[in-house]
Structure 1
Amino acid sequence: MKNILIIDDEINICTLLSKFLGKHGFDVDTTMTGNAALKMMKEKTYDLVLCDYRLKDTDGAQLLQDIHQINPATIVIIITGYTDVRVAVEMVKNGAYDYLSKPLYPDEILNLVHKAFAHKDAEQERRASRPVESGSEPEVRETLLSRNQDDKNNKYVYGESEGAKELIRQIKLVAPTDYSVIIFGETGTGKESVAHLIHHHSKRNQQPFVALDCGSLSKELAASELFGHEKGSFTGAINTKIGAFEQAQGGTLFLDEISNLSYDIQVALLRVLQEKVIRRVGSLKEIPIDVRIIVASNEKLSESVQRGKFREDLFHRLNEFTIYIPPLRERREDLPLFTTAFVNQVERELDKSCGKISSEVWDCFQQYSWPGNIRELKNVIRRACLLTPEMEDITMIALPLEMKESFNQLPEEVHISGELAMMSNDNDLKTVALQAEYNKIINVLKEVKYNKTKAAQVLNIDRKTLYNKLRLLNINY
């Protein structure tokens, strides 16, 4: 039988948790002060401690240190109010397993306790089977997150700038927890890659990672894509569909451009996050879910709340931890690292050896504003390597028109831009129309810093139509 100690200065919470956990097979003791808890721990070994952050005679941070001095193997879960969540994050970094925010829900507590014990058992098994020279887990994690370390076939590239180092530090901090995370950054900064990294270094890394682009979902499709539907629940529902929450069971669900969800869907999403159950469209059966939520937006959700576009209660439910990804123009020290990584990747894709990048191109890279960020850099490298003969230096000729214009190197007589330059018949009406459409879309994308949602609004078309035109015109942003 596992021994649990509950430390809380509210007698009602101690009584409630003691009875509830006792009914589920745990040996539970309670106390209302930190000093009494430490005395009890010296007399009896506890497998897990549920500790309120704010106590009359001490706080959770100090108590965590004292507990680990007495018994480093004891699992500590912090109970905290909403205003102390940031402190709880720091405590997880210092050795707490996780935290629970008030109000407390018994089922949520029981689930977290079981997960904590399962995680501890798995760690003990891994240590027993791991060679001594392989290093401790913190050292292994540090290696995984070190600069230019290969996570999955060089899928991730870590920068050297201060912004990049801070980004990695925050990923390392939040990854082992189950916190909901908001990732904020401009289009093309790599929000989904950061979400993948958080999942990859989390306790859920052996479970599914499911990504869903909320920006491309209509109001009618969003409920089905998120929660699934039953056969015959609406016109066109010819089969039962498993939604993203069920697909991500036990793992991580990444919701990109979440601010584009309709108000009704936001209400349904809030209910799912609070109650941890879903109902498929057309069904009354509730399905329990255990999913970590990571969301992303290229606009600040707090500003969306102020404009009435995003529910405030949903924002606070998601905002347990926020990660800001700096744009490429704010981390130019990382340009050589990203460029080298993308060149190597393209060489493998094209099965060719690319030459060196000319000094003029490097100057252009350093001066360019990179409105499309890392995604734009990758596309520029792919284009340049494709257009440049094998082993020849990459020069300004291979760069897109907008970059050459910004560098003041474009001859005045050249007017045809981008991939449509191959359309040489200026008298062909279809060609002229496509060229005009291409130029207009490119200009609008630049104006809105490559935010597709805003671009669609400016162009007075829906997002789906914009995506179709981007594919047709081979615009890769």
Structure 2
Amino acid sequence: MANILIIDDNLDICQLLDRFLTKKGHDVQTTISGKTGLEYVKKTYFDLIFCDFKLREMDGREILTKVKEISPSTQVVIITGYGDVKIAVEVIKNGAFDYITKPLIPDEILLLIDRCMILKKKDHTYSVNFVAQKNNSESKITSNNGSNEKYLRGVGKESKKLYKEIQLVAPTNLSVVIYGESGAGKENIAKIIHEQSARAGKPFVAIDCGALTKELAGSELWGHEKGSFTGAFSDKVGQFELADGGTIFLDEISNLSYEIQVGLLRLVQERKLRRIGGGKDKSIDVRILVASNEDLRKSVQEGKFREDLFFRFNEFSITVPPLRDRKDDIEAFSMHFLELANEELNKDITGFDPEVIEVFLNYDWPGNLREMRNVIRRAILLSNGKNISLSGLPPEVVYAKKFNFKDSEEEEGEHHEVAPKGNSISSLKSAAAGAEAAILRKVLEDVKYNRTKAAQQLGIDRKTLFNKMKQYDL
């Protein structure tokens, strides 16, 4: 069972989660204060923290950063409202384990806890097995996520181009820079490169550089000797040492501090590392794959990334296209995540209603594959029939394109009637009000004016829904 901390300034949510998770056998502590929560983290180890993004005294972003400084192995799940996909993408990039949206779904919370504990168990098993089997030439060490993982592969034009590049570079020992937006599947591409190389079956170690603090990055990457600094109570094997003979993947490489970049350059040049506090160099054989969601050349020009290190990494580069440019793959990707979610949740959902696929094709997916995975997982939790229907999707996905205003002149003959009845769109404010009224009307019609269901779909409470219905004469 997990030791869990809930940080939410809504006392009702804290109490509900406390009762629910305690009944499931977990140890739970709650607080409505971010500062108090951080004090708890200093005194007690938590496996998982559920933290609301919008707190009064500090936001979830700040709490996430401080938790990672205090207890790097503690996982943090951010609680957001509907429509906060950009926030979710940002916190994932900064080291959050995952995010969930309100209203909270019990099964989704339990699933996140299970995933967190399984990951911790795998990481522990991997480290123990590596040390125990290291000198056994016949042993095979799997990746952190297991060698039997079902990789996501597209079938469209952009995907075929991408996999052609992968097949070209994978058998070599070249370092590769993988570019792509957050959530686009950069780590998935790195795993495929590893599995198609001569190092397949050897360690694959993935590091999220965005989650490494300046103070702990050196210890995490190179390792340290007992007593080398305050808190170093035992020897620690670094991630590069764990990856010896295999592949290491450094995600969001541009987030590493300049000092760590200097140490990384030495390792890349000499293929040797020295643990912090150690007196001997150790030779290592590691293939390095790195990823970034920003142009590293630009980072070099801005002085944020070492030019000599960039040239060491940039032996080959791959760009993973965003999901909005891979429309040919939408259906294949949707079925892939459906199968994975069915397996995770012990469900038997067979497919999607045609309107759902149409919505998926029209949506821009700012969170890319990660967002699609979460949307489908959540929809399966909400589904009662054999197919996923529109009622299981978040409103911002369903209505994103339907109420999309153009900054430029409208297409000839195309008009959007979205203003509240009796008003004309004469300003941005009235346009936004019109879109809100239209979305409210559509959701209410879909649920046959069941206010409870409408409030749940919109991510607001019944009182707010009632006030808005009154405001727009609905």
- The corresponding residue for 1:367 is 362
Hey, what's the Cα distance between the residues in 2 that align with 1:197 and 1:346?
A: 21
- Does residue 397 in structure 1 map to residue 391 in structure 2? yes
- Does residue 274 in structure 1 map to residue 269 in structure 2? yes
Q: Which has the higher contact order (CA 8 A, sep 6+)?
A: 2
- Does residue 239 in structure 1 map to residue 246 in structure 2? no
Hey, what's the Cα distance between the residues in 1 that align with 2:224 and 2:178?
A: 29
- The corresponding residue for 1:256 is 251
- The corresponding residue for 1:192 is 187
- The corresponding residue for 2:439 is 410
- The corresponding residue for 1:434 is none
Hey, what's the Cα distance between the residues in 2 that align with 1:267 and 1:258?
A: 13
Q: Structure 2 vs 1, CA of residues 360 and 306 (structure 1 numbering), >3 Å: closer, same or farther?
A: same
8 Å contact 2:218–2:260 — kept in the other structure?
yes
Q: How does 1:40-439 map to 2 (within 5 A)?
A: 155-391=150-386, 393-408=387-402, 410-412=439-441, 421=459
The aligned amino acid for 2:203 is P
Deviates more, 1:405-414 or 1:225-234: 405-414
Measured after TM superposition, the shift of residue 158 of structure 1 is: 1.6
The CA RMSD over aligned residues, in Å, is: 2.5
Hey, what's the Cα distance between the residues in 2 that align with 1:360 and 1:331?
A: 19
Measured after TM superposition, the shift of residue 386 of structure 1 is: 1.0
Q: Structure 2 vs 1, CA of residues 361 and 293 (structure 1 numbering), >3 Å: closer, same or farther?
A: same
Hey, what's the Cα distance between the residues in 2 that align with 1:279 and 1:424?
A: 60
Q: Structure 2 vs 1, CA of residues 424 and 227 (structure 1 numbering), >3 Å: closer, same or farther?
A: farther
Q: Secondary structure at the match of 1:166?
A: helix
Q: Secondary structure at the match of 1:411?
A: helix
Deviates more, 1:382-391 or 1:393-402: 393-402
Q: Which runs of 5+ in 1 are unaligned?
A: 1-121, 123-150, 427-477
Deviation sequence 1:176-233 (CA, Å, 0-9, x none): 1111111000011111111111111111112111111110111111100110001111
8 Å contact 2:455–2:461 — kept in the other structure?
no
Hey, what's the Cα distance between the residues in 1 that align with 2:352 and 2:338?
A: 10
Q: Structure 2 vs 1, CA of residues 333 and 317 (structure 1 numbering), >3 Å: closer, same or farther?
A: same
Hey, what's the Cα distance between the residues in 2 that align with 1:345 and 1:271?
A: 41
Q: Structure 2 vs 1, CA of residues 371 and 235 (structure 1 numbering), >3 Å: closer, same or farther?
A: same
Deviation sequence 1:122-144 (CA, Å, 0-9, x none): 9xxxxxxxxxxxxxxxxxxxxxx
Measured after TM superposition, the shift of residue 423 of structure 1 is: 6.5
8 Å contact 2:338–2:351 — kept in the other structure?
no
Hey, what's the Cα distance between the residues in 2 that align with 1:424 and 1:230?
A: 57
| 4+ long deviations beyond 4 Å | 151-154, 412-420, 422-426
The aligned amino acid for 1:395 is S
Measured after TM superposition, the shift of residue 419 of structure 1 is: 9.0
Count of paired positions: 277
Deviation sequence 1:157-177 (CA, Å, 0-9, x none): 221111101111111111111
Q: Structure 2 vs 1, CA of residues 237 and 424 (structure 1 numbering), >3 Å: closer, same or farther?
A: farther
- The corresponding residue for 1:51 is none
Q: Secondary structure at the match of 1:178?
A: coil
Please tell me whether Structure 1 or Structure 2 has the larger radius of gyration of its CA atoms: 1
Hey, what's the Cα distance between the residues in 2 that align with 1:355 and 1:202?
A: 35
Q: Secondary structure at the match of 2:288?
A: strand
8 Å contact 2:252–2:293 — kept in the other structure?
yes
Q: Secondary structure at the match of 1:345?
A: helix
Hey, what's the Cα distance between the residues in 2 that align with 1:227 and 1:173?
A: 31
Q: Structure 2 vs 1, CA of residues 218 and 153 (structure 1 numbering), >3 Å: closer, same or farther?
A: closer
Q: Secondary structure at the match of 1:267?
A: helix
Q: Secondary structure at the match of 2:227?
A: coil
Measured after TM superposition, the shift of residue 356 of structure 1 is: 3.6
8 Å contact 2:395–2:458 — kept in the other structure?
no
Deviation sequence 1:92-134 (CA, Å, 0-9, x none): xxxxxxxxxxxxxxxxxxxxxxxxxxxxxx9xxxxxxxxxxxx
Hey, what's the Cα distance between the residues in 2 that align with 1:298 and 1:307?
A: 16
Hey, what's the Cα distance between the residues in 1 that align with 2:456 and 2:238?
A: 39
Measured after TM superposition, the shift of residue 364 of structure 1 is: 1.1
The aligned amino acid for 1:174 is V
TM-score by length of 1: 0.55
TM-score by length of 2: 0.55
8 Å contact 1:207–1:251 — kept in the other structure?
yes
Deviation sequence 1:72-105 (CA, Å, 0-9, x none): xxxxxxxxxxxxxxxxxxxxxxxxxxxxxxxxxx
Q: Secondary structure at the match of 2:236?
A: coil
Deviation sequence 1:295-329 (CA, Å, 0-9, x none): 01111111111111111110001000101100111
8 Å contact 1:352–1:390 — kept in the other structure?
no
The aligned amino acid for 1:197 is I
Identity across matched positions, percent: 51
The aligned amino acid for 1:397 is S
Q: Secondary structure at the match of 1:156?
A: coil
Hey, what's the Cα distance between the residues in 1 that align with 2:213 and 2:230?
A: 15
Q: Secondary structure at the match of 1:268?
A: helix
